[in-house]
Structure 1
Amino acid sequence: MVLLMNIDDNEKWNNIVKNFRNFDVYYLAEYVKAFQAHGDGEPKLFFYEDKNFKAINVFMKRDIERDQNFSGKVQSNTFFDAATPYGYGGFLVEGDVTDENLAALEKEYSRLCMDEGIICEFVRFHPVLNNSEMLSSFYDISKLGRTITIELDSQKQIWDSFTSNNRNMIRKAKKSGVEIYWGRSRELFDMFIPMYNQTMDKDDASDYYYFKNDFYNSILEDLKYNSLMFYAVFENKIISMSIILFSNQHMHYHLSTTDREYKSLAPTNLLLYEAACWGSENGYKTFHLGGGLGSREDSLYQFKKGFNKNSNTYFCIGKKIFDREKYDELIKIRKQDQSFDENNLFFPVYRG
């Protein structure tokens, strides 16, 4: 059986996803809805089943004509590419995972993508599920960098995995009077949005990271069973906020902001510690914090590493070209722009 589903049947989509032992929040219909609202493309769920083997993949189908470099240069609704929704994903496979079954899956998936006009696919594999390893024959896979995952077996284990410096920062935050709360309400989101945008301003972030109200409304309304806002309060003022996602024993540090005037109080250190403890108390097994910017071991990575000095998760990407002729055709169109560098490391190259 081969299926390609749209987002319009939430229940059927989620029933398929939840039949996979290791599914996570990134595969749920409610998660990808927010990124459809953000303009990332049309969410699709691919499902394959044959005897004692099954697989799913969630991706955004993107109309290339909507890219500013191709507007008016190619027909709309003709050329497409696919990408993992913001965050992590990639194929989940279960059952009799043999070379023969994986080859049959690849054949069906490639055929379907060609039928859909999808020229290529970019995958951000899931670091905690480590689902890239068995797909090396399927994609051109690159290992980009380490990520940090907190194991949530007990509060003692959480605390013991921290670096001594991080423990000191958490003690400092508590001693200073920082308190952590969590909840979900429109008022919290209304406070989060301007704080987050201010953080993006100071980080000189690209336009992509400024999310519109439709995006936040989707998290608030669609992900009501899979998200919480954790926030730090000091002297009756909210000074740090984080949207935490969770599903099927996995937690994720999604979006976060801190008032820089209060950074010295280490509110985010305490917030993430309390979120990890909440996860442990509520039966979650892992809390993934991600890595550094661009997978570098930068100051952001070093901050996260303070929460598990022995973390062994890493981030991989996958690339696959289904239609080389059309892929090269799009590169030729980009070459008309003198500023285009055909040797850029972006994938697909024509979007670089």
Structure 2
Amino acid sequence: MSAPASQLDQLAWLDASAADDRGRWDEVLARCVHDFHQLPDYVALEAARLGGEGGALRVEVDGEVGLLPLIRRPLPEPLRAVSSASHDALSPYGYPGPLMSSDAPAVVAKLLAAWRRGMAQLGLASAFVRLHPFLNEALAPALGEELRERGPLVWIDLEGSEEAQWGEYRSMDRRKIRRSVEAGYVAVVEDDCARFDDFYAVYAETMARLDASWSGFARPYLEGLLAALGSRAFLAFVEHEGQVAAGALFTRSCGMVQYHFSGTASAHRRAAPTRPLIHAVRQRCAAAGLSKLNLGGGLGSAEDELLRFKRGFSKRRGVFQTWEWIADPSAYAALCRAQGVDATSGFFPAYRQVPVVPSEKEVEDEA
């Protein structure tokens, strides 16, 4: 797809799969603190999973740069007759919020104006953008009514002392971690993903046990994810008498660690092995000088048992937020009417009313 026109020649659509666009994409990554969600290979992977066209709107204003990763999808055929727009867009899974080389309010305002102009030039009816809890603090207040709070999340400050970090655990969780160690459960934090087969075995077992809708995140996807992440990904395990009791996939980028996928062997569920696993990863990452470990929130950003479990590791709280952009409110309302749905239902975009993929695709059923 060609880049959208811009009077100021500051705006361009970069194709996540195009080698010719990689240099300009990488330039923004070099200038901005970023997570793995903004990597072009990850955006391309997600575009393939979601059946869209992966890319990013790159903007340059006043010597500063910004990057908005998006997956552009054609509108469903029946809706094209009632809309002048041809597509809509959503973020890749996770926290792929926009990158900005400056948080100055004037720069943020100009970047936002350019992104909105660019999305309109791409022929989008709407865009659903998942914000990053650590990287978009300056952006969120500028979004006004386009900002929505989806749910709480939990993160660990890795820069405090070991005593301070351990002290933020719930007393019950500290006791259960000690009991796990006494019962012979041993945590192993790897530097890479060489033991992917061991991880996948407990992950697949967990998803099958919970009858979760996970086909999009099955082995081919995970193998593609590891290829996209490279050295940013690592695995951690808890073992008992030579058996893997629990495993998890974590990522690290610019000092930030994400708890991304996990699983627990059915035979060890009652021992709650994910507690010592997270504890060991927290210790390793703190010792390595990393700054934050994001545990995420509940399934679908809900106030649930998974969120309660995560709260046992830290008193630090964040909010998962989304940017919900509409090109033309009247046209959006027409799309919703054509589908027979309520435009204010809470699902966005409402005209694509389909089951929601949980905003945290790791499952912890030991809480």
Q: TM-score, normalized by length of structure 2?
A: 0.83
- Aligned residue in 2 for 1:13: 25
Partner secondary structure for residue 119 of structure 1: strand
Q: Does 1:328 align with 2:337?
A: no
Q: Deviations over 1:278-334 (max 9, x none)?
A: 1112221000000112322211111100110x2132211221101335433432331
Matched pairs, number: 336
Runs of 4+ in 1 over 6 A off after TM superposition: none
- Aligned residue in 1 for 2:361: none
Q: Deviations over 1:143-191 (max 9, x none)?
A: 23221111112433321221111111111111111112234446x3334
Decide whether aligned partners of structure 1 residues 281 and 28 sit closer, same or farther in structure 2, where only a CA change above 3 A counts.
same
- Aligned residue in 2 for 1:179: 186
Q: Which amino acid aligns with 2:111?
A: L
What is the distance in 2 between the residues matched to 1:144 and 1:306?
21
Decide whether aligned partners of structure 1 residues 295 and 320 sit closer, same or farther in structure 2, where only a CA change above 3 A counts.
same
What is the distance in 1 between the residues matched to 2:27 and 2:179?
45
Within the candidate set 32, 50, 53, 2:43 is matched to 32
Decide whether aligned partners of structure 1 residues 37 and 157 sit closer, same or farther in structure 2, where only a CA change above 3 A counts.
farther
What is the distance in 1 between the residues matched to 2:109 and 2:294?
31
Q: Which amino acid aligns with 1:119?
A: A
Partner secondary structure for residue 101 of structure 2: strand
Given that 2:256 and 2:290 are in contact with CA atoms closer than 8 Å, whether structure 1 keeps it comes out as yes
Q: Which amino acid aligns with 2:28?
A: I
Q: Report which stretch shifted further, 293-302 or 90-99.
A: 90-99
Decide whether aligned partners of structure 1 residues 132 and 292 sit closer, same or farther in structure 2, where only a CA change above 3 A counts.
farther
- Aligned residue in 1 for 2:6: none
Decide whether aligned partners of structure 1 residues 262 and 18 sit closer, same or farther in structure 2, where only a CA change above 3 A counts.
same
Percentage identity across paired residues of the two chains: 26
Point out where structure 1 has 5 or more consecutive residues left out of the alignment: none
- Aligned residue in 1 for 2:217: 211
Q: Which amino acid aligns with 1:15?
A: E
Within the candidate set 58, 80, 86, 2:93 is matched to 86
Given that 2:193 and 2:233 are in contact with CA atoms closer than 8 Å, whether structure 1 keeps it comes out as no
What is the distance in 2 between the residues matched to 1:126 and 1:56?
13
Q: Which amino acid aligns with 1:304?
A: K
Q: Which amino acid aligns with 1:31?
A: Y
Decide whether aligned partners of structure 1 residues 342 and 91 sit closer, same or farther in structure 2, where only a CA change above 3 A counts.
closer
Within the candidate set 151, 154, 171, 1:145 is matched to 151
Decide whether aligned partners of structure 1 residues 221 and 15 sit closer, same or farther in structure 2, where only a CA change above 3 A counts.
same
What is the distance in 1 between the residues matched to 2:97 and 2:238?
34
Given that 1:63 and 1:79 are in contact with CA atoms closer than 8 Å, whether structure 2 keeps it comes out as yes
Decide whether aligned partners of structure 1 residues 86 and 40 sit closer, same or farther in structure 2, where only a CA change above 3 A counts.
farther
- Aligned residue in 2 for 1:312: 317
Point out where structure 2 has 5 or more consecutive residues left out of the alignment: 1-9, 354-367
What is the distance in 1 between the residues matched to 2:338 and 2:201?
39
Decide whether aligned partners of structure 1 residues 60 and 131 sit closer, same or farther in structure 2, where only a CA change above 3 A counts.
farther
Report the alpha carbon displacement of residue 253 of structure 1 after superposing the two structures with TM: 0.3
- Aligned residue in 1 for 2:350: 349
Given that 1:147 and 1:289 are in contact with CA atoms closer than 8 Å, whether structure 2 keeps it comes out as yes
Q: Report which stretch shifted further, 101-110 or 285-294.
A: 101-110
Partner secondary structure for residue 90 of structure 1: coil
Within the candidate set 259, 279, 283, 1:273 is matched to 279
